[in-house]
């Protein structure tokens, strides 16, 4: 059925809008800005906060523009004196029960509540009275929960419950006692949280933030007895610049490397090299399973949030997970073995710092099974946001920096490693190697468009040397659940599955620069960051992991071949069935 267009007037401007649009969307068509707070496009559209109220002539009271549909002939006023006064009262009430330690808050300067207070020229709080006081939950290795800064917008709940299908948090109690908490008011550490951090990305204030590990990094950098190596994930380089005012998706690889060297790291390496190593092992593992028709489908294991999810929800299917460690963990193991041996460095003196787009990596680094010879593969994980704070603390003018290159010999990576940062990238990088391994022939076209794009679930069949490989790519845990239910019910005959916990993949990880609801409404952040990674791949001289000189030398000198005993000892792991709740 053809959708109907309606005519309305907003602040004196004639507007033609689709009848399914809300007033908020119709106003956007003509550049009229209506403030929002609880609204998050496609995630939380419930009209709870009332900041987006408008007047509609002929109707009593105010209309909530984020949920009110447009109607033929509507005459709307978005900034009348009555509307502005009502919004000011709403904002005053929210601020009256909000801690005001803005200068020391991790979200200072990037807080939607703070921005509204500035916009509405709030200089004092009219409504004062009892303030609720809550203990800060900082027991999780990844997430700090500070309800004293919560505004009950419920964006985190909608993200956790609807986007990720986890439901680790919800609103409990009633009235003034209402708060966002967990089952039994337990720590996030002790419930079914996967540490994906999407709740942090959704939060408009500092009520949810990553566990800060920057002090640990500063301390090891000052320790003369420590040889400190930093590695950076592919998605970091296409998002870090946003923290310094550069456009979304700007590739700042060179400036990032220069900044890290100025901060004092002994070596600056590229996690893309670890991604190449992961492909060498994962492709080999897949080929072995395919030939033996064993434990298929094989499911990727790069995303620690996804790994924890399957351990909690589908422990009977853990045999399907690839035994490969994630790229930064593999790289850490190599740095503390091969690299240390080759350069005459005591591995116990090496401290590996990973800069990741993902806060689940903080949890992952603490897993006991991700270690060798009593040493963790990775010692400290900081997010893209934390690195930005360190650069600012170091008084480094990031935008003015010249470009530098990653250190040799571990710094040269392929284009295949770069695309690990977006949904479908792991699958595509693996298929490039799998195809040439199975056929013994060079690929003519190495792009696999069928696994690219923003579709939540991408299914494809690829013919390789007489084999028809059925593959599927899913991103976001709600979509992972759909695939796992298909596998559990025996309704799918996939051979290869890629799953990333975060919608969009690592480019939209829980440790990436936080974008306001307005930015997320107007710009496809995922697409811009992903395009930058595909551009890096397209411009790379070497685009297949098995052709990397670093990989060829590493296997020749140390690992022998993919899947060798030495490779399994250092680069592979096992998984643990976990209960959903520990209360």
pLDDT at 129: 65
For position 581, what pLDDT does the model report? 59
Residue 580 maps to a domain: no
Taking the CA atoms of 501, 504, 505 and 508 in sequence, report the sign of the dihedral they define: negative
pLDDT above 90: residue 20: yes
Same domain, 169 and 146: yes
Report how far residue 500's alpha carbon sits from residue 488's, in angstroms, rounded to the nearest whole number: 19
Contacting residues for 162 by C-beta, under 8 A, at least 6 apart: 43, 478
Question: Using one digit for the tens of pLDDT, what is the confidence trace for 414-464?
Answer: 999 999 999 999 999 999 999 999 999 999 899 999 999 989 999 999 988
Q: Is 282 a catalytic residue?
A: yes
- 362 pLDDT more than 70: yes
The residue annotated as part of the active site, out of 322, 371, 517, 548, is: 322
Give CA–CA dist 144/140, Å, rounded.
7
Picking from 181-190, 302-311, 420-429, which range would have the lowest pLDDT averaged per residue?
181-190
Residues 285 and 382 in one domain: yes
Q: What's the whole-number average pLDDT of the chain?
A: 93
Report, as an integer, the average pLDDT of 68-75: 95
Is 358 in the active site? no
Can 85 be counted among the known catalytic residues? no
Q: Are residues 333 and 188 in the same domain?
A: no
> Is the residue at 583 inside a domain?
no
478 and 425 in a common domain: yes
Catalytic residue, chosen from 211, 255, 336, 361, is 361
One domain for residues 301 and 275: yes
Residue 520 sits in the same domain as residue 422: yes
Q: Do 204 and 220 fall within a single domain?
A: no
Domain region containing 85: 5-93
pLDDT tens by residue, 225-237: 999 999 999 999 9
For residue 343, tell me if it sits in a domain. Answer: yes
Q: Which of 112, 282, 412, 498 is catalytic?
A: 282
Average pLDDT over residues 372-395: 97
Strands 75-77 and 53-56: antiparallel
- Confidence check: pLDDT of 2 > 90: no
Contact yes or no for 275/416 (Cβ under 8 A):
yes
| pLDDT tens-digit map of 519-533 | 999 999 999 999 999
Residue 21 and residue 66: Cα distance in Å, rounded?
Answer: 9
Q: What is the mean pLDDT of residues 49-64?
A: 93
Looking at the fold, whether 144 and 278 belong to one and the same domain comes out as: no
Last residue of a domain, one of 57, 73, 93: 93
Asked if residue 67 and residue 111 are part of one domain, the reply reads no
Q: Which of 188, 210, 232 is the last residue of a domain?
A: 210
Q: Which of 181, 506, 515, 544 is catalytic?
A: 506
Residue 579 within any structural domain of the chain: no
Active site residue 322: yes
pLDDT for 492 beyond 90: no
Of 46-55, 60-69, 276-285, 410-419, give the lowest mean pLDDT range: 410-419
Domain harbouring 292, CATH code: 3.40.50.1780
101 and 225 together in one domain: no
Q: Does position 127 have pLDDT exceeding 70, yes or no?
A: no
Active-site option among 49, 302, 324, 358: 302
Q: Which stretches does DSSP call E strand in 196-310? A: 208-210, 227-232, 267-270, 298-299
- What pLDDT is attached to residue 582? 44
In a domain, 577, yes or no: no
Q: CATH number of the domain that 193 lies in?
A: 3.30.70.20
Give me the CATH number covering residue 50. Answer: 3.10.20.740
Question: How much is the pLDDT for 467?
Answer: 83
The answer to whether residue 275 sits within a structural domain is: yes
Residues 252 and 180 in one domain: no
Report if residue 578 sits inside a domain. Answer: no
Number of domains in the chain: 3
Q: Largest Cα–Cα distance of the chain, in whole Å? A: 81
* Statement to judge: residues 331 and 436 lie in one domain: yes
Q: Of the residues 210, 240, 275, which one is the last residue of a structural domain?
A: 210
Report pLDDT for 1: 58
The answer to whether residue 576 sits within a structural domain is no
Contacts of 242 (CB under 8 A, 6+ apart): 248, 250, 513
Q: Which of 369, 442, 449, 569 is catalytic?
A: 369
Per-residue CA distances from 133 to 139, 145, 185 (Å):
18, 13, 14
Q: Which pLDDT value is given to residue 491?
A: 86
The answer to whether residue 102 is catalytic is: no
Which of 66-70, 177-181, 356-360, 403-407 is the least confident region? Answer: 177-181
Tell me what pLDDT residue 583 has.
33
- What is the C-alpha separation between 63 and 61, in angstroms, rounded? 7
């Amino acid at each position: 059925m053809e959708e109907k267009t309606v005519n309305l007037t907003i602040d004196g401007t004639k507007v033609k809008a689709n009848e399914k649009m809300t007033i908020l969307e119709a106003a956007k068509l003509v550049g009229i800005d209506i403030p929002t707070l609880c609204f998050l496009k496609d995630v939380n559209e419930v009209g709870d906060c009332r900041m987006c109220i408008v007047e509609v002539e002929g109707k009593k009271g105010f209309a909530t523009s984020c949920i009110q549909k447009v109607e033929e002939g509507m005459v709307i006023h978005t900034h009348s004196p009555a509307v502005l006064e009502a919004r000011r009262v709403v904002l005053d009430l929210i601020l009256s029960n909000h801690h005001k330690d803005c200068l020391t808050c991790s979200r200072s300067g990037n807080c939607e509540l703070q921005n509204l207070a500035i916009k509405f020229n709030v200089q004092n709080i009219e409504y004062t009275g009892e303030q609720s006081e809550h203990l800060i939950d900082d027991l999780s290795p990844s997430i700090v929960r500070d309800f004293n800064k919560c505004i009950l917008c419920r964006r985190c709940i909608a993200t956790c419950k609807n986007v990720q299908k986890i439901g680790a948090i919800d609103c409990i109690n009633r009235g003034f006692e209402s708060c966002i908490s967990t089952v039994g008011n337990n720590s996030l550490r002790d419930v079914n949280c996967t540490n994906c951090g999407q709740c942090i990305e959704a939060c408009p204030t500092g009520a949810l933030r990553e566990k800060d590990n920057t002090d640990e990094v500063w301390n090891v950098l000052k320790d003369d007895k420590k040889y400190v190596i930093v590695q950076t994930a592919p998605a970091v380089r296409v998002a870090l610049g946003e923290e310094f005012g550069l456009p979304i998706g700007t590739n700042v690889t060179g400036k990032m490397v220069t900044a890290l060297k100025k901060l004092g790291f002994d070596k600056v390496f590229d996690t893309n090299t670890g991604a190449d190593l992961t492909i060498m092992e994962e492709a080999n593992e897949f080929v072995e399973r395919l030939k033996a028709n064993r434990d298929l489908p094989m499911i990727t294991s790069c995303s620690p949030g996804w790994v924890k999810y399957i351990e909690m929800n589908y422990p009977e299917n853990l045999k399907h997970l690839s035994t490969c460690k994630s790229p930064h963990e593999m790289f850490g193991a190599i740095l503390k073995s091969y690299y240390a041996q080759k350069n005459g460095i005591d591995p116990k003196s090496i401290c590996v710092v990973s800069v990741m787009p993902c806060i689940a990596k903080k949890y992952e680094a603490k897993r006991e099974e991700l270690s060798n010879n009593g040493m963790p593969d990775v010692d400290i994980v900081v997010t893209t946001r934390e690195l930005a704070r360190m650069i600012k603390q170091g008084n480094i003018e990031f935008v003015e920096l010249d470009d530098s290159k990653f250190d040799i010999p571990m710094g040269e990576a392929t284009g295949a490693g770069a695309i690990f940062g977006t949904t479908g990238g792991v699958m595509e990088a693996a298929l490039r190697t799998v195809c040439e391994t199975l056929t013994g022939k060079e690929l003519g076209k190495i792009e696999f468009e069928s696994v690219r794009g923003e579709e939540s679930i991408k299914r494809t069949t690829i013919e390789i040397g007489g084999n028809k490989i059925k593959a599927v790519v899913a991103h976001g845990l709600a979509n992972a659940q759909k695939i796992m239910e298909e596998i559990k019910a025996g309704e799918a005959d996939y051979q290869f599955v890629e799953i990333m916990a975060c919608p969009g993949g690592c480019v939209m990880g829980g440790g990436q620069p936080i974008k306001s609801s307005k930015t997320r409404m107007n710009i496809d952040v995922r697409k811009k960051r992903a395009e930058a990674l595909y551009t890096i791949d397209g411009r790379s001289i070497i685009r297949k992991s098995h052709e990397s000189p670093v990989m060829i030398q590493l296997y020749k000198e140390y690992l022998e071949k993919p899947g060798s005993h030495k490779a399994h000892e250092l680069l592979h792991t096992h998984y643990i069935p976990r209960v959903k709740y520990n209360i």
